[in-house]
Structure 1
Amino acid sequence: MDAAGARYRLIEHAPEGRTDEVSALRGHDPAQAAKCLIVMVKVGKKQTRHVLAVVPGDARLDLQAVKALLEGTYVAFAAKEKAEELAGSVSGTVLPFSYDPRLELVADPSLLDQPELYFNAGRLDRSVALATEDYVRLAEPRLAAIT
């Protein structure tokens, strides 16, 4: 993020992975949290795609919206083991960035209403506060209504 000129700061806090609780520890509204969920979508009979869905911390992911977006036939949260493999981190510490070509990054556009987004920094006791426009520039998510 330094090399890209991103405006961010690190926040140390007690270990926590639940959105409401970690938002309170970090001192911000849960709407500013970038909640990251990994979803499996069946497309046809033989193809499975995975999505890293990023939504505001106070919102619920609309699985049917993700299924429609990918023109899928079935949708569910990915198995924990598969999600951790694709994310490269354990549950509760998933970053709102995809580093695996098998994991499509989709962010809800309502996140853009926030000047700054907060997310765990790959571990439960450290978070990042990142300027929203820098997040969009660096992560290049597909923006789609998924809440």
Structure 2
Amino acid sequence: MSEDTKKADTHQQLIALLTEQRAQFRVVEHEPVGKCEAVSEIRGTELGQGAKALVCKVKGNGVKKHVLAILAADQQADLSQLASHFGGIKASLASPAEVDELTACVFGAIPPFSFHDSLTLVADPLLFERFDEIAFNAGLLEKSVIMNTDDYLRIAQPELVSFRRGET
């Protein structure tokens, strides 16, 4: 299976899930952009509506875990808070090879859904407190989904964990 096919499969799997679960969503096609600020402008959404997805490794104290950490695109992650939530000593961003293996997506295209058993999904609650809709790249850099926040929480069921800078 080619890399493009794997990435298209992630997009199709996501759209099938949202459709099957009767989510309120729309797909926006655009130029392939991986930067949060640029893509939010193209989508016509606020930067804070963007669901930034970070594939992280948490290690230490006997913990070795991969986490898909979702936060608002206008925020920065505090990976030490993430590590401590899982009982680890440190957290870091996963390598491109790990990201590909766990998500079948390139950086910037990862949707805020985990389709891999070894990838734990967590989300910072601020993402859901300010807007009725969230927006994210949908497995491909040239396709975004804008969806109802309540539908996202119902379908993805992330563990809500505060891990943005400035939060304790």
The equivalent residue for 1:4 is 21
CA displacement, residues 105-138 of structure 1 (integer Å, 9 cap, x when unaligned): 0000011112000001111111000100000000
Corresponding residue number in structure 2 for 1:14: 31
- Which stretch of structure 1 is more off in the superposition, 26-35 or 74-83? 74-83
User: Residue 80 of structure 1: which of 87, 93, 96 is its match?
Assistant: 96
2-side partners of 1:67 and 1:3: how far apart? Answer: 34
Indicate the structure with greater strand content. 1
Cα-to-partner distance string for 1:55-96 (whole Å, 9 max, x where unaligned):
001000110110110010221111111012111211111010
- The corresponding residue for 1:31 is 48
Pairwise CA distance, 1:44: 2.4
- RMSD (Å) for aligned C-alpha atoms: 1.0
Aligned length: 146
Of Structure 1 and Structure 2, the greater helix share is in 2
Determine whether 1:101 maps to 2:117: yes
| Alignment match of 1:111 (pick from 123, 127, 130) | 127
Unpaired runs of 5+ residues, structure 1, are none
Residue type of the partner of 2:59?
Answer: K
- Taking only the aligned residue pairs, the percentage that are identical comes to 37
Measure, in 2, the Cα distance between the counterparts of 1:145 and 1:74: 16
TM-score (norm 1): 0.95
1:141 is matched with which residue?
158
* Partner AA of 2:118 in structure 1: R
2:79 equivalent among 60, 63, 68:
63
1:132 paired residue number: 149
TM-score (ref. length: structure 2): 0.84
Counterpart of 2:119 in structure 1: which amino acid? Answer: L
